[in-house]
Amino acid sequence: MTGLPLDAERRASNPQKTVRNGLHEAGAWLAAIVQNSEDAILSKTLDGIILSWNAGAERLFGYRADEAIGKSVTLIIPEDRLDEEEAILSRLRSGERVEYFETVRRRKDGTLVDVSLTISPVKDDEGNILGAAKIVRDISSAREAAVRQDLIIREMNHRIKNLFTLANSLVALSARSASSVSELAQDLTARLQALSRAHALTLPDLYQEVVEDAGTSLDTLFRTVLAPYDQEEGSRIEVGGDFVPVGQISLPALSLLLHELATNAAKYGALASSDGALNVSIKVDGPATEIRWHEAGAPMRADTTLPEGFGSRLEQASLRGLKGELARTWTDCGVEIVMRFPLGQIAR
């Protein structure tokens, strides 16, 4: 007896067996880690023949282990990426480790997947390179997130530049038309607020996972612009008709045009009277969108002319930008405005 615990005494009496058992257990642990890894892990010869294929590789590429082992690793490499494999094998033969190499690989069903490769040479006890161990990580989600983030940044930059340009134009035009600083501040504030409300309609769409040009609909834009003029006790503004999408390019010009119409109605038309009412109908008429704006309850004479100023010039500029046309008709009931725009122009 040595005075050591029994299991320690046994290990001490047979150190070689203890080492062998330890190596066996370590190998078992390593095999379990490799087999159960979420990443695809495989090994290959220096000629590119697959020697092992874990469960992660089966999930990522769709090939069972028995379908992949013994085959060339080109099984999962797209034809236009075959030169990558030769370059990788050349680096491995020189003992170099390849880390975080981002590329594209092919699944069994033919679809492509973005991956990051880490490839290490496998050596024997004498340092001879026998092959390579490869870890393949699916980075599709990260790539998609990066694309979405880039799109959001570019879209925000585009919108901000457009808004600054438009704000600059509003200030310049208002300054030439206003008769006083107070009038300039009041008119400019109202127009910028209308633009802000319309712009806010599309902000949530920037964060949708579907990558497409965010926008709103024409009826929603009308309701947003006209909301401040409606009555709390009962709606006197009705908006209805066909669904027409509004794109980011046309949104600022449309919102300013509608704001000018609403402002005129509030100053001189139906919205200036508590008894007045406004009906807006939207109709898709072949390749065009027709909008009928009908005011009732505050008739204007046929010889009525709206003041010529910044608002009228802004209205004409908006129409030109949208390639639209506008006609006003005064009736016994009130004014009726008919606008027509190319359908594709509004959706831009």
How confident is the model at residue 75, as a pLDDT?
95
> What is the assigned CATH class of domain 39-138?
alpha beta
The 3 state secondary structure assigned to the chain is CCCCCHHHHHHHHCHHHHHHHHHHHHHHHHHHHHHHCCCEEEEEECCCEEEEECHHHHHHHCCCHHHHCCCEHHHHCCHHHHHHHHHHHHHHHCCCCEEEEEEEEECCCCCEEEEEEEEEEEECCCCCEEEEEEEEEECHHHHHHHHHHHHHHHHHHHHHHHHHHHHHHHHHHHHHHCCCHHHHHHHHHHHHHHHHHHHHCCHHHHHCCCCCCCCEEHHHHHHHHHHHHCCCCCCCEEEEECCCEECCCCHHHHHHHHHHHHHHHHHHCHHHCCCCEEEEEEEEECCEEEEEEEEECCCCCCCCCCCCCHHHHHHHHHHHHCCCEEEEEECCCCEEEEEEEEHHHHCC
How confident is the model at residue 207, as a pLDDT?
46
How confident is the model at residue 25, as a pLDDT?
57
Domain boundaries, the chain: 1-36, 39-138, 143-346
Topology adopted by domain 143-346: Heat Shock Protein 90 (3.30.565)
List of the chain residues with pLDDT < 70:
1-33, 36, 148, 151-152, 155-156, 158-159, 162-163, 165-166, 169-170, 172-174, 176-177, 194-195, 198-199, 201-215, 231-234, 298-311
How confident is the model at residue 315, as a pLDDT?
80
Q: Tell me the pTM.
A: 0.46
Q: Would the CATH topology of 39-138 be identical to that of 143-346? A: no
How confident is the model at residue 306, as a pLDDT?
57
How confident is the model at residue 19, as a pLDDT?
45
How confident is the model at residue 210, as a pLDDT?
40
